[in-house]
Amino acid sequence: MSASTMNDLSLAPTTRNRRPGSLRPTNVIVYGIALVVVALTLGPVIYGVLGGFRTNAQLAETPAGLPDPWVLDNYVGVLTNPTFWQYTWNSVGVSLITTAVVVVFGVMAAYPLARYEFKGREGLFMVFVVGLLFPATVAIVPLFILITQNLQLGNTWIGVALPQAAFALPMTVVILRPFLMALPKELEEAAMIDGASRIGFFWRILIPLSGPGMVTVGVLAFVASWNAYLLPLLLLQGDMKTLPLGVADFSSEHASDTAGVFAFTSLAMIPALVFFLAMQKRIVNGLQGAVKG
Amino acid sequence: MADDVTTRDVAASPATSPARGAAGRTSRVRPAAPARGGRRGVNSQLRKRLEIVFFVAPALALFGLFVIVPIATAVQMSLFRWKGIGPLVDFVGLRNYVSVLTNDVFTGAVVHNLVIVGLSILIQLPLGLAIALLLNRRMWGQSALRTIIFVPYVLAEVVAGVIWLQLLQPQYGVIDGILDAVGLGSPEQGWLGDPDLALWTLMVVLTWKYLGLAVILFLAGLQGVPEELYEAAQLDGATWWQVQRKITIPLLGPTLRTWGFLSMIGSLQLFDMVWILTRGGPANATTTMATFLINEGTERSNFGIAGAASVVLFVVALFMAVLYQQLILRRDTRPETGRN
């Protein structure tokens, strides 16, 4: 009796921590649930990718079937479609400009908000915090008029990128400020004693050290811009459209060509997925940082 | 706005002057000089002020031009009858607001938004929490699992929407196909074509799209719970469920509350997914405030009405944000403000 209790006590931590894969009943249930979650999560995506390898006849006959035979025509059709590449190119351009503006302006604004002491600092910071509440939707119609009529930037990359950057700034500043605050004060004091100005400190010490933070906000801004729909929808036409607009257009213009829509959509999501996989840690860290404040 | 802040700083400069500038080089040049707070202090204050302006100005200019100005314009526009041509002359006071607030389509849209806010939290909170608690253990393929769960969130709403549109196609879509195969019927006009079902179908797609965010955030919060607490509770003979209920979930509070806030704001601004799936239809069954104002503004050129709808959307969002802050987030921020 006492021996078995002893045994339990000494064994319990080992089984819990060292052998995670052991097939106890609870583990089976957990893995079962995990499988269901994975299936429901990935199911639609995988179905779309596989659907691109089928013909419309196959899709209509057995909606839930596998490609039989596998057909490459849909994907080849999209990949040899110059419009697809034009849209991809536009998406890359708009997203890169947005990201560059957000990161540069964001880190500049976050620096005094984090490391200068001045009256009105918290008030200034609140401007950006309240900015989190402004959806682009609220301002979208005047924004459309401002950009197309007053600034004459309608149907240009920069006309989409600048407002997108402006709306991404609050999140950027809110994430970067605590990041810059966390860098130890001694660094700054040491730099000052060595004769560096605050601007010198910013360039030579703060920027290199805050690389990870800037990558995080950069990735978030890039993904948001890459996926954006509403602003490009209003501002871009014809050859200037981005990929999400292309996907939406293709699916309504070729509504009867389900397989083609699947192929186009699958190819359009590859860049975002690849980028996500490469930058996964950063995206997740950024979002978690935002939540933890 | 920048001017405002700077002038206030200038006025307040004596109060903040002994802060930093004087400590370094200045003091070494003239140690213990009685005039230290004098001209040099003012100079370094001025310099500091210029630096602040230099760093903050680009962001504020961009923010002002593309966020503040358009929002102010929306407010202004809402007071005029304007079709987008010529100057704003036809001042109508609050008539656009009356017309928006008495419009059944718009009030319906507000209700839809509120239903989506409520259901998103009611569905995703327990579901996300359950999945996060189950996955918060060392298991095979854990990191792959986390990646997979997050995939829908990373996809563009348009991409996710178009895929679901195909899956949900009446008769030929795979969902109807599966339901047929197991002997269940499906609605004749399709899941998105039936006014009674469209909003619920939309909720299913939104849950699919956004559950991953909840799970990832909750898992991150769970990692912040110290392991010793679990060990102590287990030594005290607590069951798994007691540990979750008494330790994990309370400690996860701040994460849950912040997620709820993000979810709420997102639901109120919902546009992309609705526009792709239903355009607000059928028979306005899924119209949201955002689709309403885009429809009025860009398709019908009723800019005054769109402006009024924008302002109402903003006021609703602000009101709910303040309410949320007061009722729920306050518990998190109170100790922090105490420290500051």
Domain ranges of chain A: 19-75, 83-292
Distance (Å, whole) CA B299 – CA B321: 30
Cβ neighbours of B158 in A, within 8 Å: 227, 229, 244-245, 247-248
Of A166, A183, A284, which is closest to residue A225 (Cα–Cα)? Answer: A166
Residue of B nearest to A257 (CA): B166
Of A168, A34, A106, A281, which is closest to residue B145 (Cα–Cα)? Answer: A34
| Residue A31 CA from chain centroid, whole number | 29
pLDDT tens-digit profile of A207-265? 888 777 888 888 888 888 999 998 999 899 888 999 999 999 988 888 888 888 999 99
Handedness of CA A68, A74, A75, A77 (dihedral sign): positive
Distance (Å, whole) CA A46 – CA B75: 45
Residue of B nearest to A259 (CA): B166
Please tell me what DSSP assigns to residue B31.
Answer: T
pLDDT tens-digit profile of A179-217? 788 777 888 888 888 888 878 888 888 888 877 788 888
pLDDT at B222 over 80: yes
- The two tokens of residue A67 are 């490609």
Distance (Å, whole) CA A155 – CA A148: 8
Q: Is B80 helix (H, G, I), strand (E, B) or coil?
A: strand
Percentage with pLDDT > 70 across chain A: 87
The confidence band for A31, taking pLDDT boundaries of 50, 70 and 90, is confident
pLDDT tens-digit profile of B75-110? 888 888 887 777 777 788 888 899 889 999 999 999
**Domain B96-339 classified CATH 1.10.3720.10?**
yes
Handedness of CA A157, A160, A163, A169 (dihedral sign): negative
Distance (Å, whole) CA A137 – CA A233: 12
Q: Position A241: which residue type?
A: K
Residue of B nearest to A189 (CA): B24
Inspect the interface and report whether the beta carbons of A251 and B165 lie closer than 8 Å.
yes
pLDDT at B131 over 80: yes
Inspect the interface and report whether the beta carbons of A273 and B154 lie closer than 8 Å.
yes
Residue of A nearest to B10 (CA): A119
- Give the distance from residue B103's alpha carbon to the nearest chain A alpha carbon, in angstroms: 19
> Hey, which residues does B91 pair with through a beta bridge?
B80
Inspect the interface and report whether the beta carbons of B297 and A140 lie closer than 8 Å.
yes
- Cα angle A91-B267-A244, degrees, rounded to a multiple of 5: 15
Distance (Å, whole) CA B40 – CA B31: 13
Mean pLDDT, chain B, integer: 80
Q: Which residues, at least 6 apart from A91, have a Cβ–Cβ distance to it below 8 Å?
A: A226, A242, A243, A244, A271
Question: Could you tell me if A227 lies within 8 Å of chain B, comparing CB atoms?
Answer: yes
Inspect the interface and report whether the beta carbons of A119 and B321 lie closer than 8 Å.
no
Distance (Å, whole) CA B276 – CA B167: 14
Residues 272-301 of B with CB under 8 A from A: 272, 275-276, 290, 293-294, 297-298
Distance (Å, whole) CA A89 – CA B144: 31
Residue B121 is predicted with a pLDDT of 94
Domain ranges of chain B: 2-77, 96-339
Q: Which residues, at least 6 apart from B175, have a Cβ–Cβ distance to it below 8 Å?
A: B167, B168, B186, B191
* Assigned CATH topology for domain A83-292: MetI-like fold (1.10.3720)
Percentage with pLDDT > 70 across chain B: 84
Distance (Å, whole) CA B124 – CA B210: 8
Candidates A24, A118, A223: best to mutate against B (most CBs of B within 10 A) is A118
pLDDT tens-digit profile of B10-27? 333 343 434 444 344 443
> Hey, which residues does B80 pair with through a beta bridge?
B91
Candidates A138, A241, A262, A277: best to mutate against B (most CBs of B within 10 A) is A138
Rg (CA), chain B: 27
Please tell me what DSSP assigns to residue B189.
Answer: T
> Across the A/B interface, how many CB contacts are shorter than 8 Å?
296
Question: Could you tell me if B8 lies within 8 Å of chain A, comparing CB atoms?
Answer: yes
Residues 38-67 of A with CB under 8 A from B: 38, 40-42, 44-45, 47-48, 51, 59-60, 62-64
Residues 35-64 of B with CB under 8 A from A: 48-49, 51-52, 55-56, 58-60, 62-63
* Inter-residue contact B198 to B138 (CB < 8 Å): no
Please tell me what DSSP assigns to residue B252.
Answer: T
Reduced DSSP (H G I as helix, E B as strand, rest coil) percent helix, strand, coil of chain A, to 5: 80, 0, 20
Inspect the interface and report whether the beta carbons of B155 and A287 lie closer than 8 Å.
no
B142: exposed, middle or buried (Cβ count in 10 Å: 0-12, 13-18, 19+): middle
Cβ neighbours of B221 in A, within 8 Å: 291
Mean pLDDT is lowest, of A198-212, A227-241, A279-293, B224-238, for: A279-293
pLDDT at B2 over 70: no
Residue of B nearest to A244 (CA): B158
Distance (Å, whole) CA B103 – CA B306: 12
Question: Could you tell me if A25 lies within 8 Å of chain B, comparing CB atoms?
Answer: no
Q: Which residues, at least 6 apart from B192, have a Cβ–Cβ distance to it below 8 Å?
A: B165, B168, B198, B201, B202, B277, B278, B282
Helices (H), chain B: 2-11, 13-16, 25-29, 39-63, 69-77, 95-101, 104-135, 142-154, 157-167, 174-181, 198-223, 227-235, 240-243, 249-251, 253-268, 272-277, 289-294, 303-324, 330-339
Please tell me what DSSP assigns to residue A240.
Answer: G
